[in-house]
Amino acid sequence: MMQVAEGNRNGRVVLQAESLWKSYDEGTVVVLKGVDCAVFEGETVALCGPSGCGKSTLLHLLGGLDWADRGRVSVNGAQVNRHSDLLRLLRHEVGFVFQLHNLIPDLTLAENCLIPTVAAGIGRRIAQERLLELTERTGLSHRLDHRIQKLSGGERQRTAICRALMNRPKILLADEPTGSLDEHASKLIFDLLLELVATEGATLLMATHDRGLAGRCDRLVEMHDGKIHEHAHAE
């Protein structure tokens, strides 16, 4: 049984969608139909719903990877509407974790993780320290110089999480982060994700089909047919 979550709504709104509309194929496929939602600082939110209901699209819009046809996206109170906003967003404010880890296979684990720091122009020493810290916490410190092809699925996803957190973003957007893993690995990765989010003081918005994982979030947002139907939190 889901209930509307009120406890976390005392914090500051860090992600906000207002009347978001999004369509593809020249408007013939309408994916988001006036979505309104807000995510508060420090909370973990699961975005659930059937395939094709618009979860990934909503994450992409909130993270600045795509533009809405109509409506507004605000991150940390600032409306996202310019190219420079997007770069600032992707470099410093938002980290992405995808279902398919989206790592560059020919680079090593360390090199993959350092990509966001290169993009943001962060100094090598600071980047290295952060890399060591995160890989230590995710149990990957012994794999730093290994190429991605040599890593297991779980290790790859942990690498992707490290990479997403390298520039200390305060918002983590995760699109089915455990969707390609078995049940055991899935649980381990999600535990790690929650722990990192908590210790980093970050906010997590996660699209997932897994009701079990969703139930461990502070709040659950149900999407259906391009609309948000209910805000609830797990019992």
Partner 1 sequence: MIFLKLIVTNLRRHRIRSLISVAGIGFSVAAMLTVVTILQGAIGMFSSILSNDSEMIVFERDVSDLFFSNVPGEAAAQIAGWAMVAHANPVLFGIVSSEGHPIITCFGVTPADARIQKAAWVEGDRGNFARHEDDIVLGSRAAEFLSASLGSQVQIGHASFHVVGVLKTANGFEDGGVFMPLASAQSFFHKQGTSSVITVKLRNKDDVAAFKRMIREKYPSLIALEDAEFTRSYSQFRILKATAWAVGGCGLLLGGLGVANTMIMSVFTRIREIAILRVNGFSQVQVGGVIFGESAVVSVSGALAGLLVGTCFLYALKLIPALDGYVDPTIHPLLMLVVLVLALLTGVAGAVYPAFYAMRIRAVEALRFE
The C-alpha atoms of residue 24 and residue 122 are separated, in whole angstroms, by 36
Distance of CA 140 to the CA centre of its chain: 20
Instruction: Based on the shown chain and the rule CB under 8 A, indicate whether residue 60 belongs to the binding site for partner 1.
Output: yes
Q: Interface with partner 1 includes 90 (CB under 8 A)?
A: yes
Query: In terms of CB distance, is 107 or 234 closer to partner 1?
Result: 107
> How many residues at the interface with partner 1, by CB under 8 A?
24
Q: Is the four-CA dihedral 227, 93, 151, 103 of positive or negative sign? A: positive
120 binds partner 1 (CB under 8 A): yes
Kindly tell me which residue out of 13, 30, 38, 115 binds partner 1, with binding defined by CB under 8 A.
115
Any idea which residue has 């957007």 for tokens?
A: 173
Side chain identity at 47, as an amino acid letter? L
Angle ∠(158,160,162) on CA atoms, nearest 5 = 70
119 is a contact residue toward partner 1 (CB under 8 A): yes
Binding string, residues 148-187; x marks residues near partner 1 by CB under 8 A: ---------------x---x--------------------
By the rule CB under 8 A, 54 interacts with partner 1: no
Helix axes 153-165 and 109-120, enclosed angle (nearest 10) = 20
Beta strands per DSSP E along the chain: 13-24, 29-40, 44-48, 70-75, 78-79, 94-97, 171-175, 203-208, 219-224, 227-232
The nearest distance, CB 108 to partner 1, in angstroms, is: 9
For partner 1, give the closer residue by CB, 12 or 124: 124
Query: Contact with partner 1 (CB under 8 A): which of 33, 72, 91, 216?
Result: 91
β-strand pairing of 203-208 with 219-224: unpaired
Instruction: List residues binding partner 1 (CB under 8 A).
Output: 56, 60, 65-66, 87, 90-91, 96, 98, 102-104, 106-107, 111, 114-116, 118-120, 124, 163, 167
